Structure 1
């Protein structure tokens, strides 16, 4: 009898430990199904982690300091069901083993620089080329591969900082960068960028999240309604480089001044769509840097989820996932196919360092680079 009592006691203790272990595992899991431990690694001597932001409405945003990336965004649909509306990976390994910019903070210079050449203070610099003979998103080793120092002052904010040393990726100047991502109470991700340099340089920071408002990347974004507050855009050549012209959207498939399905004209016989393999263009915003004006809106009629974009920047690059081709498997084992997401990147116009009439990307010592972009979610 005593032995039986002892056996029952041991079973109870072991069962209790197992339940505690299960509880720990459950506590590790985010609302979007991520485990923090899967994002904890040492990369180039620096530690990576997953930072979870939550607001009173139950919205959740997960961010890793590897590349300053937004990993998941959980928002309610019209039925109150939580949906993850950005593409990404379940672990840090996905981000390091596959060349990608999912959710990344892009720098030093977002978008393309022609032939990888810039002239700063009378000196010409050659940057590494990584895209059709041009430098794209800071080159092959841009900020998307940098481990930022991270500080989470409260449950709704993460502050990411890094130093890009003079000569890194060919750019001049020691650049001190600060990116603050805040989840607001009205379901917006408010991103503020700041930078200072000790030598004149060029800066153009942005975020490269891939959005799919259906909450299921098995669906394309072609039926989602897109509105862009812009009367003009910057055409590109067959290497995706801006030509230097600014053209009106009126009467072309580039006109999204009223809500239009993304796929309605994406296959039209139009040179710009052929050059971009779809939409991969910068729109010249009408907002004049006014953060209170909507720059663009995406709306999914099935889920009712709406995304409004606000920015202080003069341009917005809209990219419709034209190069996703089924070779990348992301969160929950979903294969990312063509047009399974849309990117909305606030920015100076592409190749601005080589186009003096366009908004200047130059930053001098004593000045502060400042940029802001808000991704606000709601149900329509």
Structure 2
């Protein structure tokens, strides 16, 4: 009898241990830590995998990329984005980490814009401006998630007329596809029942060392752009398209990010580092790489592709060590780089810039590809 009881205990222990292993993603996340309810809607963790062992974990809370596991030059798998271990941490520490941003990514001056003769007032949540759709933008909403297979996830969300001050019921769909060439293909689609504005992007914080205790100063950055949009001390675009030639903003050939940071340049002071939009030369051609980020330490390279006219490069200037992320790692100053493909900031108030207006009967359709490789 004692032997039977002992055997049953062993079986139960093995079963529990096996269950725990199955619950862990390759990057070390527990799905159960992402399964709860927020505002009456269920949240979850979705896992995408390809034949190379690359893994991308996404939660439908804010349409956030939580982890991206890719091989370095030695074949070691590294998690190259910042994020949290649970939904509770995302709720406890409001941030844009990995999020799908909308209805309008980046800033709108004083939170105001005029569309078809009507002025709209949005929340002013950043130096008097509306940033990333307001304090209750898409990054804090629960999307409906549908995972068709190991490679593709669909996230849908209805932004109601008047939500955060924006006009029109906006039906949004974000499709994330992991390909066998180690690329995350993100497609944004939307339609509306009233004229509105829309500008969606992904706000992943990339640390290509897979070690957020290190900063990004050694990363090599390339941006295919002859011009950028300068900002004032409140991070608002001035309306000018300024040439990068002869300035620290010139990344047409690879340069270490840290090599530019201490230069005496007004735009670096205004942005507290890099927090600017570059005007891409790629002419909305999704087949042309618009930006490249590389870690010399790990050999990991990130190529960015988009059919958008601009890319916002943010060097993590406001990471200050107050956030503790996955695996208990503190996110210190400039621990990552964001590469956000989108329209230029404050486009609704700049009639000569590429339009962000969406009207009934039209289809919003934009794409971003994050493709990973290694330099051995």
RMSD of aligned residue pairs (Cα, Å): 0.4
* Pairing 1:145–2:140 present: yes
CA–CA distance in structure 1, aligned partners of residues 238 and 278 of structure 2: 14
Q: Deviations over 1:220-257 (max 9, x none)?
A: 11101000000110000000000000000000000000
What TM-score, normalized by structure 1, do the two folds share? 0.98
Q: Secondary structure at the match of 2:7?
A: helix
Where 2:298 maps in the other structure, the secondary structure is coil
Which is greater in Rg?
A: 1
* CA–CA distance in structure 2, aligned partners of residues 265 and 43 of structure 1: 42
The residue that corresponds to 1:188 in the other structure is: 183
Among 249, 253, 257, which residue is 2:248 paired with? 253
- Residue 130 of structure 1, aligned match among 125, 128, 151: 125
Unaligned 5+ segments in structure 1 are: 1-5
Task: Return the alpha-carbon distance in structure 1 between the equivalents of residues 302 and 145 of structure 2.
Answer: 27
Question: How far does the alpha carbon of each residue in 1:83-123 deviate from its partner, in whole angstroms, 9 at most, with x for none?
Answer: 00000000111111111010000000000000000111210
Any gaps of 5 or more consecutive residues in structure 2? Answer: none
The 5 Å alignment of 1:60-79 reads 60-79=55-74
Correspondence for 2:211: 216
* 1:286 aligned partner: 281
Partners of 2:132 and 2:116 in 1: how far apart?
Answer: 22
Where has structure 1 moved over 2 Å in runs of 4 or more?
A: none
The CA deviation at 1:275 is 0.1
Q: Match for residue 103 of structure 2?
A: 108
TM norm structure 2? 0.99
SS at match of 2:202: strand
* 1:30 matches 2:18: no
Q: Name the SS of the counterpart of 2:134 in structure 1.
A: coil
Q: Is the partner of 2:261 in helix, strand or coil?
A: coil
**In 2, distance between residues paired with 1:200 and 1:150?**
27
Q: Name the CA distance, whole Å, in 1 between partners of 2:73 and 2:24.
A: 25
Corresponding residue SS for 1:26: helix
Q: SS state of the match for residue 304, structure 2?
A: strand
Q: Which residues in structure 2 correspond to 1:319-334 (within 5 Å)?
A: 319-334=314-329
Structure 1 CA distance for aligned equivalents of residues 96 and 157 of structure 2: 18
For the residue of structure 2 that corresponds to 1:154, the secondary structure is coil
| In 2: Cα distance, 1:31 partner to 1:121 partner | 50
Match of 1:7 in 2: 2
- Cα distance in structure 1, aligned partners of 2:270 and 2:262: 12
Does 2:71 correspond to 1:85? Answer: no
- Equivalent residue for 1:302, pick from 293, 297, 300: 297
Q: Take 1:339 and 1:162, find their aligned partners in 2: how far apart are those partners?
A: 32
Shift of 1:267: 1.6
Match of 1:166 among 151, 161, 168: 161
Whole-angstrom CA distance in 2 between matches of 1:140 and 1:263: 31
Aligned-residue offset at 1:323: 0.3
Q: CA deviation at 1:14?
A: 1.1
**In 2, Cα distance between equivalents of 1:192 and 1:127:** 26
Counterpart Cα distance in 2 of 1:129 and 1:41? 30
2:348 pairs with 1:353: yes
Counterpart in 2 of 1:3? none
Output the CA distance in 2 between the equivalents of 1:269 and 1:93: 41
Structure 1 match to 2:368: 373
Counterpart position of 1:311: 306
| 1:267 paired residue among 252, 255, 262 | 262
C-alpha separation in 1, matches of 2:34 and 2:94? 17
Distance 2:219 2:24 in 1: 30
